Amino acid sequence: MKKIFFLLAVMLGSSSIFANCTNAYASAGYTLSHAKKSMEANNFEHQQYYAERALSALEKTRDENETCGCPGAIDPILDGIENLNASLSQEKWDDARYYTKKAIEDAQKVLYSLDMCAQGEETPKQDNPEGLVPETEDSSVTLESKEAEAWTAKLLLRQNAEDELILLEKSIRNMASLFECQRALQIVREQKVKSDEELRKEELSTLKSYYMSQAVALHNKALFALLECAKR
């Protein structure tokens, strides 16, 4: 995560082309994050859920790259979309993981290609499968790039937190159905998703507390509902 933010800062200070590539870079970052979560999932349902999220983010990257105009990112984007579609079409956990792993490599190449375009290079000078550059101090990092780094951190937190809360709600519903607990089935998350405007106004720590409180509230509601059902 830290390396991704560093890349973002470097690119913002290195070339005006990145003004058009910020969204594509953020979407590619989502792709990588979701694909890695798919690989880390311990059940097939969650694996497929995150692979689908990764695919959606990469398709968005493809569309945003048309504005960005980075030719080096086109092939890995298309390869990643193909691999994620292949992952979602599999019926076995190991087979799906195989294609998701390939998609992770594609997403890393997309990030690296966008970095090269931001530096005024259409194609990478050397292979870099990790899609990263050395992590060094850069005196040219401006206030604007630091703000962009903070904004990207908030976007990633919102996306990941919302994904986890959706899965938590699904797990609660599955458990409620298993135990035939109507009280638990009626549990819904009351808070709405944070808008971009709200996101800009809040500190990252405040945002973390907000989503943490939502998770705790869901857990508590599920616990009390199941306890009520157990008394019957």
For residue 103, which of 159, 163, 1, 31 has the smallest C-alpha distance? 31
Shared domain for 178 and 89, answered yes or no, is no
Shared domain for 177 and 106, answered yes or no, is no
Which amino acid, one-letter code, is at 136? T
Burial class (CB in 10 A: 0-12, 13-18, 19+), 93: middle
Shared domain for 59 and 8, answered yes or no, is yes
- Got the DSSP string for 108-132? HHHHHHHHHHHTT-SS-SS--TT--
Whose tokens are 């998350």? That residue is: 189
Domain boundary among 74, 103, 137: 137
Domain boundary among 111, 137, 163: 137
Residue 142 lies in a domain: no
pLDDT at residue 173, as a whole number = 83
Domain that holds residue 76: 2-137
First to last CA, the chain: 48
The conformation of residue 195, written as its DSSP 8-state character, comes to P
Do 33 and 63 contact (CB within 8 A), yes or no? no
Q: What is the pLDDT of residues 105-152, one digit of tens each?
A: 999 889 888 877 876 654 444 444 444 444 444 444 455 556 666 777
Q: What is the pLDDT of residues 52-70, one digit of tens each?
A: 999 999 999 999 898 888 8
Shared domain for 107 and 169, answered yes or no, is no
Q: Based on the structure, what is the number of domains in the chain?
A: 2
Residue 150 lies in a domain: no
The conformation of residue 190, written as its DSSP 8-state character, comes to -
The conformation of residue 73, written as its DSSP 8-state character, comes to G
User: Where residue 7 sits, what CATH number does that domain have?
Assistant: 1.20.120
Do 107 and 28 contact (CB within 8 A), yes or no? yes
Residue 12 lies in a domain: yes
Burial class (CB in 10 A: 0-12, 13-18, 19+), 192: exposed
Shared domain for 89 and 181, answered yes or no, is no
pLDDT at residue 137, as a whole number = 42
pLDDT at residue 126, as a whole number = 41
- Whole-angstrom Cα Rg for the chain: 20
Residue 13 has pLDDT above 80, yes or no: no
Residue 144 lies in a domain: no
Shared domain for 23 and 131, answered yes or no, is yes
pLDDT at residue 56, as a whole number = 92
Which amino acid, one-letter code, is at 149? E
For residue 160, which of 204, 129, 97, 200 has the smallest C-alpha distance? 204
